[in-house]
Homo-oligomer: A and B are copies of this chain.
Amino acid sequence: MTPQRKIILEEIANTNTHPSADEIYELVRRRLPRISLGTVYRNLEVLCECGLIRKMDLGDGHWRFDGNAESHYHVRCTSCGRITDLYMEELCDFENIIRQQTGYEGVGHRLDFYGLCPVCKREREIPHRTDLPSSRPGAAGESEGM
């Protein structure tokens, strides 16, 4: 556990935003300005192998990292990219069905959700606010993910 590794772990533990490798790099760089992106990637890999963090692919083209290593599902906002944890039971039953149907063994699954988060939803519902400066009608201007 080198200083770099420790700080990377701390930064992940101190956030609940499921940051990407690059976001972690930026966070860590504030404390360790000379750290390199390669080191971040290498340590993220090690921390995953130890089970201290969790690496996940939520379909937006980055690896995302979660300081909460317990298995749980996520919803991702297709507009702003925000990721929210879900508190629901895991689907175990399906894996037996699949084994019977296909003969695959050791079946696991990946399940994640996407949608429009409450904040972005509200922005669309009220696209032309009058109580805020510099808001123009129809000037939403986000890119739709996935």
Taking Cβ atoms with an 8 Å cutoff, the residues of A that contact B are 57, 59, 75, 77, 84, 86-88, 91, 94-95, 97-99, 101-118, 121
Contact = CB atoms under 8 A, between A and B. Distances in A.
Nearest to A109: B113
Given A86-B101, A87-B101, A104-B116, 17 more contacts: A59-B110, A75-B98, A75-B104, A75-B107, A84-B102, A84-B104, A88-B94, A102-B117, A103-B117, A103-B118, A103-B121, A104-B115, A105-B115, A107-B115, A108-B114, A109-B113, A109-B114
Contact of A113 (B75, B94, B103, B121): B94
B113 A108 contact: yes
A91 B104 CA distance: 21
Contacts of A84: 102, 104
Number of copies: 2
A126 to B, nearest CB: 14
Contacts of A77: 104
A98 to B, nearest CB: 6
Nearest to A124: B105
A103 B95 CA distance: 29
A105 B99 CA distance: 33
Contact of A111 (B101, B104, B110, B121): B110
Nearest to A75: B104
